[in-house]
Amino acid sequence: MAIMAQTPDILGERQSGQDVRTQNVVACQAVANIVKSSLGPVGLDKMLVDDIGDVTITNDGATILKMLEVEHPAAKVLVELAELQDREVGDGTTSVVIVAAELLKRANDLVRNKIHPTSIISGYRLAMREACKYVDEKLAVKVEKLGKDSLINCAKTSMSSKLIGTDSDFFANLVVDAVQAVKTTNARGEVKYPIKGINVLKAHGKSAKDSYLLNGYALNMGRAAQGMPSKVAPARIACLDFNLQKTKLQFGVQVLVSDPRELEKIRQRESDITKERIEKLLKAGANVVLTTKGVDDMALKYFVESGAIAVRRVRKEDLRHIAKASGATVVTTFADMEGEETFDASFLGHADEVVEERIADDDVILVKGTKTSSAVSLILRGANDFMLDEMDRSLHDGLSIVKRTLESNMVVAGGGAVEAALSVYLENLATTLGSREQLAIAEFAESLLIIPKVLAVNAAKDATELVAKLRAYHHAAQTKADKQHLSSMGLDLSKGNIRNNLEAGVIEPAMSKVKIIQFATEAAITILRIDDMIKLVKDEQENDEE
């Protein structure tokens, strides 16, 4: 306790050593246990109710963790981990949290057995590097060998655990068509699939199977006035980010008028300014005007007279996407360098046509045949909001996975195949090392088996027997030259046996697996390094003095 004597009075609590480690691990386990039962093709959903009573029903790991208000600092690392996986890959958020928590749990057991955390960390790092290398070199298969079916299978695998899993054939085709529709090639000649260009619209009514893909970017709003035409072709689009309402003088500007008749002139000028702006727009050739702000009723009549469509209160995000797709420039002000107001025709975007259609009970504006990149919209139909929201989340995962598969071109077998192969490989690797890292790598290998175990448990199958069989197959694949084809053996969770998942079409992008291993290891190492926690308490006296 000599150390404590030297430490100045810290107002708060200080925990160090094993207490902190155990506490962190317990917190992370608690978070992982929440999402554990939602993994896999028969994973269960979670119902989250927030403080004002809004209900969310989902089994998307990132969504569940985002909506939990996690207090514990170490557990927050796992929540951020799920968000990172969601941003980078789009799917596999549940797996990454479960693996990270398992790695931590096993590392904590090793520390209890008097192995220094530094040795464990270097062992984990080595295991992570070897695992990623093994996936890339031995387990990944080029997509060309499998064709378009492989994309559909990737989408189906991603959706299998979701609400729309029963209709995964239908939705997988929808997703693959949508991603392929937004294919673009950038200046460096790389092929990219910007899935942000896919707009997802949710409309009540009909069943999920009545969802469809629309060629064109859909805006969830109607025309600003009924007198406007419901269709213009070809469309020249102006994207504005300011008000087309009667111009008012700025706050703080005082106008002293001695003659009351002058007031009328000021009013008249205010309305003329807006009129001039609209005339400039129309003179430049615009026949579709989208603005993020409002349009005055008085201003609408000019658009109606000239047969143009005006849409007000467009979301900024939508405006950016339409501007990008049609080649328009988002204009925030008409003022030019000389202080005059001008609008150049080069700011306009081009599309084949802009039409207003009715979907369910809502009017939507469709921008079809855009100039630069093709934009598509997924129109989702469903019984209620919960269903539509969950479909939206599931499709986001599906779209991300298809994008990753197309961009990286490498896939691996799903259903626990990769984890089992890595587990066997790392265990053999551990026995070749004579250093302390051996134990950490062996535990890392054991931790990866949590994925096939949880998958089997969630499917109400005998996990112990299935995982043992799976490991036997992978051991044979890695030790016998004539059995290499067994390296894609994974779990068949509907029948409760082992099958070749590459042939069965249960596949995932290799990049997703590699990222899961990397992120989970990094997160586990981050938490494992902590051996001291100081919680500060606010000093009451200071507050009183102030």
Residues contacting 466, CB < 8 A, separation 6+: 452, 456, 491, 496, 497, 498
Q: Of 56, 58, 94, 157, which residue is the catalytic one?
A: 94
Tally Cβ neighbours within 10 Å of residue 32: 24
Q: Of 274, 397, 405, 521, which residue is the catalytic one?
A: 397
Say if CB 359 and CB 219 are below 8 A apart.
Answer: no
Q: Which residues pair with 239 in a beta bridge?
A: 290, 330
94 catalytic, yes or no?
A: yes
Q: What are phi and psi of 96, to 5 degrees?
A: -65, -35
Residue with token string 């269960």: 44
Say if CB 234 and CB 367 are below 8 A apart.
Answer: no
Hey, is 186 helix, strand or coil? Answer: coil
Q: What are phi and psi of 433, to 5 degrees?
A: -95, 140
The DSSP-derived string for 71-140 is --HHHHHHHHHHHHHHHHTSS-HHHHHHHHHHHHHHHHHHHHTT--HHHHHHHHHHHHHHHHHHIIIII-
210 catalytic, yes or no?
A: no
Say if CB 25 and CB 108 are below 8 A apart.
Answer: yes
Where are the strands (E) in 292-348, listed by range?
Answer: 309-311, 330-331
397 catalytic, yes or no?
A: yes
Say if CB 511 and CB 89 are below 8 A apart.
Answer: yes
The DSSP-derived string for 469-501 is HHHHHHHHHHH-GGGGGGGGEEEETTTTEEEEH
Strand 288-291 vs strand 235-240: parallel, antiparallel, or unpaired? Answer: parallel
- Best CA proximity match to 160, nearest among 40, 321, 28, 272: 40
Q: What are phi and psi of 494, to 5 degrees?
A: -80, -35
Q: Of 45, 56, 58, 60, which residue is the catalytic one?
A: 60
Q: Of 93, 291, 370, 521, which residue is the catalytic one?
A: 93
Catalytic residues: 60, 93-94, 397
